[in-house]
Amino acid sequence: MTNSNKPNLRSPRSPRSGRPVHIVGTGSYLPDRILTNADLEKMVDTTDEWITSRSGIKERRIAPDWMCTSDMGTEAARRAMEQAGVREDEIDLIICATITPDMPLPNTACLIQHKLGAKRAAAFDIEAACSGFLYGMEIGQQFITSGTYNTVLVIGAEKLSTIVDWQDRGTCVLFGDGAGAVVLRSRGPERGILTTCMGADGSKGDILFMPAGGAKFPASKESVSARMHVIKMEGKEVFKSAVIAMQTAAEEALKKCNLTINDIKCIIPHQANLRIIDAIAARLGAPKEKVYINLHRYGNVSAASVAIALDEAAREGRFQRGDLILLVVFGSGLTWASCVIRW
Ligand code: ACO
């Protein structure tokens, strides 16, 4: 028996006090339209070989013009609620993590609240880029742990195709559209989410950013013609920071729970780049079979990535009730987060 197959004989420790919080339903939504690497070869100076070897991505989903982030978020939420057996009038709070809200105001969570008919729910967005979904889960968990709310819907939803620079081959090949969601509840004494670790480094905000559209550079003819409303990225710097931050965050979460990587059944990392994921798995000493990957089909969907991957991994039976799973993410900010769950 290899180390990685050894059963977990120790009891994981949860550093949390208060009510335990569980993921009682997951859901995701991907638009139908597939944009392949071959399609991108016709749009910019690139090749399937370059994109595949540098990122692992083969295709991504692109939402139609009429479909907004809130539409995808609503559908993912409906699927999570259906699986959880939760009605819209039972939801106390909706948190939507996104960097592509339908509009600056009202927030996307309010638009989703209306589309779901979840009239009792408070609703707000958070922006922590690709880390937003785990940041949102931690916020939702705190409300349940404290006893303030019973049922929280956390959504990661993105229409990144609207902020990608379709003339920049260095970034446009990496991103896609979609949404994922979870329903959080306290389901009994047995622990669900054991711990979440979050971090940020604002000094590196300029390696992955979108300069205009906020208070610093409001939309103007000049900002549009200077192409300031699209993602700008220093890929190599982001790559290096992502590997270090995700490794550190994963190790911190395991340590807090008195676990080793051998105790983890499935690792679900942010789906940005296969080489980043492989580097993290190697540094953590995790065999590749433990790592869930779907970026070849969807590319990087920012805040939605780990939510979609969690839903797909759960529905594919990659882990069973009682198994330990590790989520770890990284994004613009810079931000990062990790989370250990007893499923
Ligand atoms: N097709 C062909 N050639 C390309 C392409 C392309 N699509 N893009 C760039 N190139 C060229 C470059 O121009 C460069 O050419 P040169 O050597 O003649 O100058 C060459 O390929 C190498 O470019 P690099 O940028 O050095 O390539 P690298 O190996 O670093 O890979 C990549 C680039 C894939 C972007 C990688 O750096 C990466 O994945 N970084 C992390 C990105 C990431 O994770 N971002 C999301 C973070 S999450 C969030 O918050 C949204």
| pLDDT number for residue 6 | 42
Q: Tell me which residue has its CA closest to atom 50 in ligand 1.
A: 331
Summarised one tens digit per residue, pLDDT across range 251-287 is 999 999 999 999 999 999 999 999 999 999 999 999 9
Report in angstroms the alpha-carbon separations of 339 from 196, 214, 224, 319: 4, 31, 39, 16
Q: Which helix (H) or strand (E) holds 269?
A: strand 266-269
User: Distance from the CA of 179 to the center of ligand 1, in angstroms?
Assistant: 25
| pLDDT number for residue 14 | 67
Distance separating alpha carbons of residues 214 and 237, to the nearest angstrom: 24
- DSSP assignment letter at 32: S
Q: Which atom of ligand 1 is nearest to the CA of 172?
A: 7
> pTM higher than 0.85 for the full model?
yes
Residue 22 annotated in active site: no
Domains of the chain, CATH where assigned: 22-185 (3.40.47.10), 193-342 (3.40.47.10)
Q: Tell me which residue has its CA closest to atom 25 in ligand 1.
A: 235
Kind of pairing between the strands at 232-233 and 122-126: unpaired
| pLDDT number for residue 5 | 43
Residue 300 annotated in active site: yes
User: Distance from the CA of 55 to the center of ligand 1, in angstroms?
Assistant: 8
User: Distance from the CA of 51 to the center of ligand 1, in angstroms?
Assistant: 9
| pLDDT number for residue 147 | 93
| pLDDT number for residue 2 | 42
| pLDDT number for residue 13 | 61
Which residue is catalytic, options 107, 273, 294, 300?
A: 300
| pLDDT number for residue 157 | 98
Q: Tell me which residue has its CA closest to atom 2 in ligand 1.
A: 46
Summarised one tens digit per residue, pLDDT across range 89-133 is 999 999 999 999 999 999 999 999 999 999 999 999 999 999 999
Which residue is catalytic, options 270, 273, 294, 339?
A: 270
